[in-house]
Structure 1
Amino acid sequence: MQQPLAYRMRPTKLEEIVGQQHLVGPGKIINRMVSAKMLSSMILYGPPGTGKTSIASAIAGSTKYAFRTLNAATDSKKDLQIVAEEAKMSGTVILLLDEIHRLDKTKQDFLLPHLESGRIILIGATTENPYITINPAIRSRTQIFQVYPLTEEQMEQAVNRALKDPDKGLGQLSIDLKVEALQQLVRATNGDLRSALNGLELAAKSTPPAEDGQIILTLPIIEESFQHKALSADKNGDAHYDVISALQKSIRGSDVDAALHYLARLIEAGDLPIIARRLLVIAYEDIGLANPPAASRTVTAVEAAQKLGFPEARIPLADAVIELCLSPKSNSGINAIDKAIDQVKAGGFGDVPAHLKDAHYQGAAKLGHGTEYKYPHAFPNDWVQQQYLPDKIKNAQYYQPKQNGRFEQALGQQYEQLLAAQRGKSPKKPN
């Protein structure tokens, strides 16, 4: 029986790995370990299909060590003993232990001395947070590295490589994967390359070829293969981004039902990464200082959704969208920083006042740096009047408080009070 496409396309050297360049790229930690032949046991933590097994396979291929794969949940202590015996005979074995968070104490106790001796180089793979789910005895003997979902560009690169490879991939077939079908393939799988490659193979081998022998993979075929409807057959994906834009504008406009509708369309498209990113943007751009706890809860909801994956991810995402819609709104934060940036870009800046310059070096006093600085904590209410902006823009004002939430109302009152006292317009000191 032929092995699945994702298995066949598994890399045999680091250079073939798609994504995770923060670990395997030139000069990065795993690359350096392999180059120096100084391997140590590690735990790779991240979502399914993001390259944990590929990294282990590539390390083994690059070092020529024997490579074995076991599952901590389903394989027994006897299976570990077989790997240990092989390690005694060959010197070193790289063991990929999937679902390492489910390793029981009996297997762990057997494994630990072999990790200590270096006979077994353990590469544990888990989708669970290892700092919470993995026993400290294992953690203390391993390096923990996080892997991330692949980007659409990285997914497309891997898919195109599989289409062209005549030996391990689908290159022996004549396949025409339409642009809109490729876009749906990489979006519907949420950065899970294993799912994308195996789904691609299913689509290719279940589609009858045309009269000229070419297998044409259209958007409907990919939709059917993954059971995810695309938002639109628009070739350039414009409709997809229209829905994302509509989601943000509906939340900004406090229309719960419209926002849930557009969220549902994005969920049906399987686009968890773009939903997560956009909700974080909305939380700080549109709600911001009017309701900071809502922004914090959105971060928590997004993290939960990313760990859960679909279909369960829809639950925290819906909660976040409903709260953001019904929350008071304020864009004062983004307006303030953009106003400051615009002034800097236009040349609106000057020399840092001498009393604010760094004075932590010998000779600073001779230059007048820091000598006139007044330490606010040495004064009543931890505040003292002194100039902080450069002379050229000493009266610049970027922040314009809004009154839509109690938190920003309080901030605004404090800001106005401080501003007046700083400019000597009021004898009243700020609280």
Structure 2
Amino acid sequence: MLFDSLIQSPLSYRMRPRKIEDIVGQQHVLGKGTALYKMIQKGHVPSILLYGPPGVGKTSIANAIAGTVNKPFAAINATTAGKKDIEDAVVQARDEGNLILFIDEVHRFNKAQQDYLLPHVERGLITLIGATTENPFHDVNPAIRSRCGQIKELKPLTKRDIEELIKHTLVDDRGLGGKDIDLSDEAISLIASSTNGDARSALNVLEEVVAASDQDNGRIIVELSLIKEAVENKGFSHDKDGDLHYSLLSCLQKSIRGSDVSAALHYLARLLEGGDLKSICRRLIVIAYEDISLGAPEVAVHTVTAVDAVERLGLPEARIPLANVVVEQCLSPKTNSAYKALDLALEDVRRGNIGEIPMHLKDAHYKGAETLGHGKDYKYPHNFPNSWVNQQYLPDQIKNKKYYQPNQNGYEKQLYKVFHRLEELKQQEKPYSDK
């Protein structure tokens, strides 16, 4: 009966590794030369925090670790578990000895669960293996992080890793080893390349196509067309609130900043598949002012116009103005001198390095202002040639500060010339406020 129930369980469940030697990929975490591998082989398991995208094997690794050291194992999900589940795990640990407790979505662990569990982790009754799809340094409670001696990032499996897993599944008795399956190398490659490093998705696709394929004298013939139908849209996983989403936005901006059109379009495509147009549009406006800025001021206008078009059109047509503006941003001159200058000014203000406002600049549009000396000797620039007059505008305390340092990219090259001409003029005579 137990064997029958095992056979009926999903293929991805049946193929979970039983020992750490069975784990596919993640050699940077559990390769034979790593400290963690050596510790586990010697029977020592520290509390561990594993993070990475879905399908990279967090649950499987926890199972394999428990199987390697032959210790009791329990698994819960922080989003659905209550305090009673933690209490049951503690009882199991007291009955069976040191328990490896796997907590999926550990970033959602609430305070009541945490306060009950952590003392048992500290005493060694329970070894915690937490898993999250989020960045643990942003989203996992520091109290949990501090108890985990190992924090390891898991990477999506490579195409070769997935191919190896599929081939092993076809001959393993826990998987499909009892079936006569005709699956070409091309078919295996298609599954592996279409599931984005997600082992669970790859095995789910494999299970589906085998179940749907026709048989010829007991031999299961898997057609490529069937695989193409099964893998459609399965290779993309995206959480709008997750760490991957923000990493993709960061990659988009850095690719545009680096003028790499192909990379920028790649990350734009991945973000579009996630469907969050609002985040894409907001980031592109930021890029227009942060990275391109005075190098090509017209790009900001084009970007806002494109964003307006995106909001009116929606997907799939919204991809057209987005493609236009991303390519233009990539190939436009870049400068960040304007906002960097403001950041320097903000730094002075926040440190209190501000000084007294010059008297000739103070508001003089009220009765009695002249008595106070406000506005006295102020020179109205429009009354002078070229609408410019040399007078002091900064407070005495910081009157020689130079926040803005223009570069010579694109349109800012013109501003550079004006800026330096004004600096030369300032050196030719004293400001009126000094007379």
Q: Give the TM interval when normalised to the shorter protein.
A: 0.5 to 0.7
User: Cα–Cα, structure 1 residues 204 and 317, in superposed 2: closer, same or farther, change >3 Å?
Assistant: farther
User: Cα–Cα, structure 1 residues 277 and 215, in superposed 2: closer, same or farther, change >3 Å?
Assistant: farther
Q: Distance in 2 between matches of 1:40 and 1:95?
A: 12
Letter in 2 for 1:329: L
Q: Distance in 1 between matches of 2:250 and 2:203?
A: 25
1:223 alignment counterpart: 228
2:211 alignment counterpart: 205
The answer as to 2:328 corresponding to 1:326 is: yes
State the TM-score, normalized to the length of structure 1: 0.58
Q: Write out aligned runs for 1:25-424 (5 A).
A: 25-142=31-148, 143-165=150-172, 167-209=173-215, 211-228=216-233, 283=256, 286-287=259-260, 302=267, 310-312=273-275, 322-327=324-329, 329=331, 406=412
Q: Distance in 1 between matches of 2:328 and 2:206?
A: 41
Letter in 2 for 1:311: G
Letter in 2 for 1:38: H
Structure 2 residue matching 1:57: 3-state secondary structure: helix
Report deviation, 1:191: 0.9
Query: Does the CA-based 8 Å contact 1:115-1:122 persist in structure 2?
Result: yes
Cα displacement string for residues 335-387 of structure 1 (whole angstroms, at most 9, x for unaligned residues): xxxxxxxxxxxxxxxxxxxxxxxxxxxxxxxxxxxxxxxxxxxxxxxxxxxxx
Letter in 1 for 2:68: S
Report deviation, 1:276: 10
Where structure 2 has 5 or more consecutive residues not aligned to the other structure, the ranges are: 236-244, 285-321, 334-406, 417-435
Report deviation, 1:60: 0.6
Query: Does the CA-based 8 Å contact 1:50-1:150 persist in structure 2?
Result: yes
User: Cα–Cα, structure 1 residues 221 and 281, in superposed 2: closer, same or farther, change >3 Å?
Assistant: farther
User: Cα–Cα, structure 1 residues 198 and 402, in superposed 2: closer, same or farther, change >3 Å?
Assistant: farther
Report deviation, 1:217: 1.6
Q: Distance in 1 between matches of 2:116 and 2:90?
A: 9
Query: Does the CA-based 8 Å contact 2:259-2:330 persist in structure 1?
Result: no
Query: Does the CA-based 8 Å contact 2:213-2:223 persist in structure 1?
Result: no
Q: Specify the structure having the higher radius of gyration (Cα).
A: 2
Cα displacement string for residues 227-280 of structure 1 (whole angstroms, at most 9, x for unaligned residues): 3499xxxxxxxxxxxxxxxxxxxxxxxxxxxxxxxxxxxxxxxxx9xx999979
Q: Distance in 1 between matches of 2:20 and 2:194?
A: 27
How many residues align structurally? 287
State the TM-score, normalized to the length of structure 2: 0.58
Query: Does the CA-based 8 Å contact 1:287-1:327 persist in structure 2?
Result: no
Query: Does the CA-based 8 Å contact 1:305-1:314 persist in structure 2?
Result: no
Cα displacement string for residues 158-208 of structure 1 (whole angstroms, at most 9, x for unaligned residues): 11111121x111111111223333233122221110111022111101222
Query: Does the CA-based 8 Å contact 2:201-2:234 persist in structure 1?
Result: no
Q: Distance in 2 between matches of 1:317 and 1:151?
A: 28
User: Cα–Cα, structure 1 residues 171 and 309, in superposed 2: closer, same or farther, change >3 Å?
Assistant: farther
Where structure 1 has 5 or more consecutive residues not aligned to the other structure, the ranges are: 231-271, 289-293, 332-400, 411-431
Query: Does the CA-based 8 Å contact 2:72-2:97 persist in structure 1?
Result: no
Query: Does the CA-based 8 Å contact 2:106-2:131 persist in structure 1?
Result: yes
Q: Distance in 2 between matches of 1:229 and 1:104?
A: 32
- Among all aligned residue pairs of Structure 1 and Structure 2, give the percentage whose two residues are the same amino acid: 41
User: Cα–Cα, structure 1 residues 103 and 310, in superposed 2: closer, same or farther, change >3 Å?
Assistant: farther
Report deviation, 1:138: 0.8
Letter in 2 for 1:217: V
Structure 2 residue matching 1:128: 3-state secondary structure: coil
Structure 2 residue matching 1:148: 3-state secondary structure: coil
User: Cα–Cα, structure 1 residues 122 and 278, in superposed 2: closer, same or farther, change >3 Å?
Assistant: closer
Letter in 2 for 1:327: Q
Structure 2 residue matching 1:95: 3-state secondary structure: strand
Q: Distance in 2 between matches of 1:208 and 1:95?
A: 43
Q: Distance in 2 between matches of 1:105 and 1:197?
A: 36
Report deviation, 1:225: 2.0
Query: Does the CA-based 8 Å contact 1:330-1:402 persist in structure 2?
Result: no
Q: Distance in 2 between matches of 1:131 and 1:187?
A: 31
